[in-house]
Each structure stands twice: as C-alpha cells, then as structure tokens.
Amino acid sequence: MRYLVATDSVHTTAAACDYLDPRLDPDDAVDVLTAVAPDGDGTDDAASGPGSSPSTRDAGDAANVAAARLAGLATVETLVREGPPAETVRATVAERDPDVVLVGTHGGRPGAGPGPGSVARSVVGTVDRPVVVLPLPSLDP
C-alpha cells in the first residue's frame, strides 16, 4: 500500500501516525506532503486563516514527526512542495498514485473550527481514491 499524508502541522501528522501505526506493513510506503505557499502568495485558506500557510520550518517539523513515529513500520518519504495546498495535494496524488490519501479535518492551528476545512473538502471532492479525514484535537487555550 502507498499512503499520502497531506499535512500542515505536527498535530495533523501525529493524527496520521496514530491512524497508520496499526495498519502499516514493512512493504508499505508513506509519502508525507506539506504544501508551502510561495512568499507573498496571500493564500486565504479557511482551514488556517487568511494569509496563512505552513512555513518551511513547519513542514520540516511535520516531516520529522512522521519519520520518528513511523520508523521501521514502512518506508517514509517527505515531500515539501510549493503551491496552494489543495492543488498541490491533487498534483501529488496524480504523481505518486497513492492507494489512500490522509488529510486533517482542518488546519492544525489554534482557532481552527471543528469541521472540515477548505483543503479537506476540496481533496475529498476531487480525487479518485479513498480519502481519510483525520479528526484533530481542539487546540484552543
């Protein structure tokens, strides 16, 4: 099996690892994707707030969580791509051909609402394979 984890935070990645841990086989592959919007892009994603997108540092932190938590359970590859998150996830699905796509319900940031954000809704509605929408804990203080 090949899994694509589309993540924007360590919280989303941790939820994906919790989901994958009991399901993985050493022959499986996990691609961990973080889409980083270009500087000054002005991306307005309802999941993470106006003008917000993961930074390169956030992408590295998310990748480190996956590498540490899934080590020895499957082959893990991290991908940091520049571009709008939903478009980047769809392009990566076409490129990597995963069996299953995992996304968080919303941006893994304080203040995010409980329902699916714009990226999760877009991915669920536009890819031709199963999408697992991972619930995330509330991060409000």
Length of the chain: 141
Q: What is the pLDDT of residue 121?
A: 92
Percent of the chain surpassing pLDDT 90: 55
pLDDT tens readout for residues 83-119? 999 999 999 999 999 999 999 887 655 666 667 888 8
Return the closest-CA partner of residue 35 out of 61, 55, 11, 15: 55
pLDDT tens digits, 35-50: 887 664 434 343 344 3
| Three-state SS at 94 | helix
Residues 110 and 141 sit within 8 Å (Cβ to Cβ): yes
The confidence score (pLDDT) of residue 44 equals 38
**Residue range 67-83: average pLDDT?**
93
Q: Distance from CA of residue 124 to its chain's centroid? A: 13
**Which pLDDT score is estimated for 72?**
93
